[in-house]
Structure 1
Amino acid sequence: MTGTVIFDPLVPLWFVAALAVVSGAGLVLAARRGLAGWALRALAALVLIAALSGPSYRQEEREPLSDIVLLVDDRSASQRLADRAETTAAATETLAARIEARDNTELRRVTVGDAPDNRGSLVMGALSEALAELPRGRIAGAILLSDGQAHDTDAAPDMPAPLHLLHTGREGDWDRRLRIDNAPAFAILGEEVRLTLTIADEGDAPEDVTTVPVDISVDGAPPQRYDAPLGREVTLPLTLPHGGRNVLQFSTPAADGELTDRNNTALVQINGVRDRLSVLLVSGQPHAGTRTWRNLLKSDSSVDLVHFTILRPPEKQDGVPVRELSLIAFPTRELFLEKVDEFDLIIFDRYRRRGILPSIYLENIRQYVERGGAVLLAAGPDFAGAESIYRGPFEQMVPARPTARVVEEGYRPQISDLGQRHPVTAGLGEAPEGEWGRWLRQIEVEPDADGEVVMTGAGDRPLLVLDRVGEGRVALLASDHAWLWGRGYEGGGPQLDLLRRLAHWMMKEPELEEEALRAEATGQTMRITRRTLSEAVPDLTITTPSGDEVVRSLEEVAPGRFETVYEGPEIGLYRLENGDRTAVIGLGPAAPVEFERTLATGEVLDPAIAPTGGGALALEDGLPAIREVRSGRPAAGRGWIGITPRGAYETVSVRSMALLPPWLVLLLAAGFLTTGWLREGRR
């Protein structure tokens, strides 16, 4: 039970103040004139002013509230190293029992796990959320059981009581960490890319180690081992082996005594891209389709185009000097013998043999294809004649043989059953059947056994035939009327998409491989895609970073495209195998943020602990005693930590009693005024 005097004015304060001023002025005047009753009149004015102030006596009945102590248990991944989990669990239970045994003290426990999206240990955020749900006036302290490696120190709350850290580190702890500092997302094929690698020891590490082995593996291949200096940056010059995604894994073997080897590995995924694509376009004669090829290739800024058009055949003799007909001389020997390997793609557009390119040049082009080059033949009527480029060395590599017949009739190109699954034509244009415009000419050809017919034309004849020759690729488009689609004839068609896909497939773009196994990761979820020309695929085998194998079936989502979605249980390198196709993909960083710093310390949280007067102690030294300390005093010392009793209470009832009842005010005021008047009357 407590009591206090309070004032509740019956009138505004300015009125009470004005009344006091007027009364004071009157009393001063009365005193100067020598009126004998001025003192009694002053008492009467004082009574009236006090009554208008509304004084009362308030009595409160209070019920004391218990103090609250927060106990935060960090169970993130770094807290599971060595014996930290067992040490933390035992300390948590012992401290909880001690706190609950204290009088007028209540315990609130907070458990913190791994944050999603590799955000680390969010200890401060969890503490802030717990404080937001409790009255600040009852918080007597907070105790954190953690390794001290919090990753949200900017979320540290404004503590109304001491904050303490009991960390799980030991004096002899040490750890080795491998780090990649500057890994680009893209790199140009054939050019060196430089990565900076650092291997450093932290803590009580062995002092006699100066170099450590480093294993480097590309796309899951057997690793190559090198020696790297310890504690110094090492620049690694690397050249990507292929286009598309290259998965590079860097690792150093685990050493005896280190806390963990989770941070001894780093994954880097770099996409290999071509700097410039070199294309040679040879037009046998000017025609409407020449501009189509030229516009397609010049519209791509990554393509270097060399284009030659034969304006006049050698057999034409009109007496005009060649220098007046040609912009430059046709450098046949330089292009087709000396520099042919510098081109990624050679296109022959309605070219026929006229003696300009001898057989030795054509034979060299055939060998260029077998070495990995690409040749595209856009056939016109000349392909069916006696001067066809097919006659000669090209006969061994062109995937279809002309029958010497030219079909001059309108037809709508169609995608074959095989073409529905081939990436060059799959889903081409996404237009309903019959909507594309007609072509008006086709060269009749008979495909070889190895030729893949992906488009058909008049009378279901082969229109687009693809084949692989040695390490290279060859394509035959048995018509010179693809330009009609570009002109919008009868509605046109997907001419640009078709020719661009065809050119990029021939230049071996990874996205257009017809037999491929790929995976795309989003967080810990990967979407695995198997593209094939077959109608069915075997089950997929997934090997996790820990070596476990998981078998999943693939579902056909489109012709020639099978997919499945897999949720990776852990972070690291996954190996995928489907039939004769293999792939690798990395989920998340190989060393999560929880393992970037593994040594327990109080330095990270010191900016949040120091202002509260708390301290950071090691559990290795034993559990500290808990003492009560006054607010503002140091709350930690050797072997002890302090909490601040808050003395919080809850008001149960309130009673108020007026100090000056109205009848007493009237009696006193009238008495003082009457006495003063009588005294002045006698004088």
Structure 2
Amino acid sequence: MTGSIVFDPLLPWPVIAVLAAAALALVGVALWRGLQGWWLRGLTAAALLAALANPALQEEDRAPLTDIVIAVIDESASQQIGARPAQAEEALVALRAEVAALPNTELRELRLPDAPGDGGTELMTALAEALAEEPRARVAGGVLITDGQAHDLPMAPDMPAPLHVLLTGSESDWDRRLIVRNAPAFAIIGEPVTLTLRIEDQGAVPEALQGSADLSIAIDGEPPQTFRVPVGQDMELPVTLPHGGMNVLQFATNTEAGELTDRNNAAIVSINGVRDRLRVLLVSGEPHAGERVWRNLLKSDPSVDLVHFTILRPPEKQDGIPVSELSLIAFPTRELFVEKIEEFDLIIFDRYRLRGILPLNYLENVRDYVTNGGTVLVAAGPEFGTADSLWRSPLAEILPVDATSRVIEGGFRPVLSELGKRHPVTQGLDAAQPDEGWGRWFRQIEITARDGGQVVMEGADGRPLLVLAREGEGRIAVMASDHAWLWGRGFEGGGPQLELLRRLAHWMMKEPELEEEALTALADGQTITITRRSIAETPPGPVTLTAPDGSEAQVDLTETVPGRFAAEWPAPMLGLYRVIQDDLETVVAVGPSAPREFEETIATGDKLADLVDATNGGILRIEDGTPDLRRVGEGRTAAGRGWIGITPRGAYVTEDIRIAAILPPWAWLLLSAALALAAWLVEGRNGRPRSPR
């Protein structure tokens, strides 16, 4: 129980203040005149003013509240290294016992996992949230059980009591990490791109391991190459991407004995390989209505360098015109088909016939160009079935079709074959097809597909219209009609001419997204999306995923559209996953190339020192023993060797309030009258006042 005096004035305080000033002035005059009862006059005025202030005695019944100690236990990824979880639990058990031994004290515990994504350890955010849930007047102290690696220091709250840090780890800890300082998202295939890498040591590194380390480099999970590199220096590493699409580069350094963790010994970088310029050679055998279809398509793509020649006049035409006047420039056959043929990504023969312009040995070069990795597209017209057809040249050895010398004249509507509905070149083209079908074409060269030829489109009476094939390391395709231009003109509604020819050209140039047998995996957060494209009639089997720790999982794929199978799989951990199905294999990196939690793994209190010093707290290592808990006065040093302190807050809750007047009104009146009478009697008995000196 506690008591205090409260006032409930009968007049406003400003009025009472004016009256008090007037009374003080009158008493001063009485004193100046030498009246013997001046002090009684003053007491009379004070009694009247006190009555106007209406004082009362307030008594409260108070119940004391417990002091609160906040403990934040860091359970982030870096806190799972070595003996740190056991150290944290040991410190927490000891803290519970110390708090329980103190009277009128409670412990609030908050366990802190990793922040979402790659946010690291949001230690200050957790402390601020815990502090916001408790009355500040009851918080007697805070304890952080952590390795000191906080990533949100600007979010530190204003602590009303001492804050302490109990550090896990050991002073003898050391760690080695691999850092990728810069890595582009895109790079040109075949041209070196420079990455900056650094191997860095932290902590008490053994002298025998200082100076240099092994660095291994692997692309797309292939066998790595190992180099000896210096430690603590930036290294400029030129890397040449081997293929288009996503290239996954993995860098790693060996795990040494006694190293704190190997989670930061590797880094994963994904770089999308793109072509600088696609070089295309287009040879048109004669002018025709669809000649400009290929030219317009290729010229519309800014990434394509096109070389186009059209044979306007056959050599057998004898009209006496000098050969030098028949063209603007000479047809550089030797330069194109002998010296620079390997520089082209695609060669298109558009209605070309054997007229002696290209000797047979040049066409043999084209055949070898394909088997060595080049690509050729034959856009056939009526000449394909004649005696001077390319089918009767050395190219016949790699062509995926045989010609019957028959030309079919008459309207027909091109359609996708069953294989074409699954093949990436034509898959989905019929999604917007009208009910009556695409616009008609009016000429088709009769061909038959050889073994290995992929018939993806059919024409009149189900005959092959577009046939694709792989030969050696290259690719070749035959379009058995020269009427694709009718779709571009919108005849009878037209058709997907631009998309078909674009896909065909890009498949010929080996773009990864148009591979007919492909396995891809993409990571979004910790979810891996697996996609398999296949033109096989039987669905593929399950996919095997190998996690960074070597564990395997089987995932079944579901067909989403013809020829495309997909599945989503939640990855249990961060790192590089290997995805295998049949003879296809790919890799995918889950999470950042270097997780933030493992950028700095050595336990230290340096980052939290300023915050702790501002509250008179302390930083102690758990390996030196769990500290005692003491009570200290506010503003005093709250930490020492083997102990930490909290400040008792003395908070309470008021259960009852009683208010009683000090004197009733009549008593104040009686007291005032008595004092006034006493002043009158004193002054009357002593006579007149003395004259002031």
* TM-score bracket for the superposition, by shorter chain length: over 0.9
1:190 paired to 2:184: no
Cα separation, 1, equivalents of 2:157 and 2:195? 40
CA deviation digits over 1:407-448, x for unaligned, max 9? 222222111100011000011152145342222222221111
SS in 2 for 1:493: coil
**Deviation, structure 1 residue 521:** 0.6
Aligned to 1:375: 376
Question: AA paired with 2:164?
Answer: H
Contact 2:98 2:628 (C-alpha < 8 Å) held by counterparts: no
Cα separation, 2, equivalents of 1:13 and 1:69? 44
CA deviation digits over 1:522-557, x for unaligned, max 9? 111101111111131122211121112222222211
**Deviation, structure 1 residue 326:** 2.8
Contact 1:314 1:354 (C-alpha < 8 Å) held by counterparts: yes
Q: What are the residue-to-residue correspondences of 1:505-520 with 2, within 5 Å?
A: 505-520=507-522
Q: What are the residue-to-residue correspondences of 1:169-188 with 2, within 5 Å?
A: 169-188=169-188
1:620 paired to 2:629: no
Cα separation, 2, equivalents of 1:325 and 1:25? 129
Distance 1:659 1:290, change over 3 A: farther
Distance 1:658 1:449, change over 3 A: same
**Deviation, structure 1 residue 13:** 4.0
Distance 1:659 1:344, change over 3 A: same
SS in 2 for 1:354: coil
Cα separation, 1, equivalents of 2:17 and 2:402? 117
Cα separation, 1, equivalents of 2:296 and 2:661? 100
**Deviation, structure 1 residue 22:** 6.8
Question: AA paired with 2:276?
Answer: D
Aligned to 2:466: 464
In the alignment, structure 2 segments of 5+ residues that lack a partner are 689-693
Distance 1:37 1:167, change over 3 A: closer
Cα separation, 2, equivalents of 1:319 and 1:650? 119
Aligned to 2:584: 581
**Deviation, structure 1 residue 500:** 0.8
Distance 1:669 1:547, change over 3 A: same
Question: AA paired with 1:165?
Answer: V
Question: AA paired with 1:547?
Answer: G
**Deviation, structure 1 residue 510:** 0.6
**Deviation, structure 1 residue 360:** 1.8
Distance 1:39 1:82, change over 3 A: closer
Question: AA paired with 1:206?
Answer: P
Cα separation, 2, equivalents of 1:326 and 1:42? 130
Question: AA paired with 1:487?
Answer: R
Distance 1:33 1:605, change over 3 A: closer
Aligned to 1:570: 573
Aligned to 2:223: 222
Cα separation, 1, equivalents of 2:327 and 2:677? 135
Of 500, 503, 506, the residue aligned with 2:502 is 500
Cα separation, 2, equivalents of 1:516 and 1:673? 112
SS in 2 for 1:195: strand
1:559 paired to 2:571: no
Cα separation, 2, equivalents of 1:583 and 1:249? 13
Cα separation, 1, equivalents of 2:219 and 2:200? 23
Question: AA paired with 1:195?
Answer: L
SS in 2 for 1:646: coil
1:602 paired to 2:605: yes
Contact 1:573 1:590 (C-alpha < 8 Å) held by counterparts: no
SS in 2 for 1:647: coil
Question: AA paired with 2:57?
Answer: Y
Which moved further from structure 2: 195-204 or 501-510?
A: 195-204
Aligned to 2:638: 635
Question: AA paired with 2:585?
Answer: T
Aligned to 1:339: 340
Cα separation, 1, equivalents of 2:46 and 2:172? 79
**Deviation, structure 1 residue 16:** 4.2
Contact 1:180 1:197 (C-alpha < 8 Å) held by counterparts: yes
Contact 1:262 1:590 (C-alpha < 8 Å) held by counterparts: no
Question: AA paired with 2:65?
Answer: L
Distance 1:124 1:31, change over 3 A: closer
Aligned to 2:422: 421
Aligned to 1:441: 443
Cα separation, 2, equivalents of 1:48 and 1:288? 119
SS in 2 for 1:598: coil
Q: CA RMSD in A?
A: 2.7
Cα separation, 2, equivalents of 1:441 and 1:370? 31
Contact 2:284 2:351 (C-alpha < 8 Å) held by counterparts: yes
CA deviation digits over 1:45-97, x for unaligned, max 9? 65555444443322211111111112222222222222222222122112211
SS in 2 for 1:395: helix
Contact 1:263 1:590 (C-alpha < 8 Å) held by counterparts: no
Cα separation, 1, equivalents of 2:166 and 2:262? 25
Aligned to 1:398: 399
Q: What are the residue-to-residue correspondences of 1:124-523 with 2, within 5 Å?
A: 124-209=124-209, 210-321=211-322, 325-428=326-429, 430-432=431-433, 433-523=435-525
Question: AA paired with 1:174?
Answer: W
Question: AA paired with 2:566?
Answer: E
Cα separation, 2, equivalents of 1:163 and 1:286? 87
SS in 2 for 1:528: strand
State TM-score, norm by structure 1.
Answer: 0.93
Distance 1:32 1:324, change over 3 A: farther
Which moved further from structure 2: 197-206 or 460-469?
A: 197-206
Contact 2:83 2:169 (C-alpha < 8 Å) held by counterparts: no
Which moved further from structure 2: 280-289 or 11-20?
A: 11-20
CA deviation digits over 1:475-530, x for unaligned, max 9? 11111222222222222221111111111101001111001111011111101111
In the alignment, structure 1 segments of 5+ residues that lack a partner are none
Identity among equivalent positions (%) equals 59
1:537 paired to 2:540: yes
**Deviation, structure 1 residue 344:** 0.3
State TM-score, norm by structure 2.
Answer: 0.92
Cα separation, 1, equivalents of 2:185 and 2:404? 50
CA deviation digits over 1:610-660, x for unaligned, max 9? 211111111121122222111122111122211111111111111222345
CA deviation digits over 1:276-296, x for unaligned, max 9? 111111122233323322221
SS in 2 for 1:409: strand
Cα separation, 2, equivalents of 1:37 and 1:120? 81
SS in 2 for 1:408: strand
Contact 1:571 1:590 (C-alpha < 8 Å) held by counterparts: no
Distance 1:30 1:488, change over 3 A: farther
Cα separation, 1, equivalents of 2:183 and 2:174? 27
Instruction: State the number of aligned residues.
Output: 682
Question: AA paired with 2:583?
Answer: D
Distance 1:202 1:29, change over 3 A: closer
Which moved further from structure 2: 444-453 or 397-406?
A: 397-406
Question: AA paired with 1:235?
Answer: E
Distance 1:461 1:635, change over 3 A: same
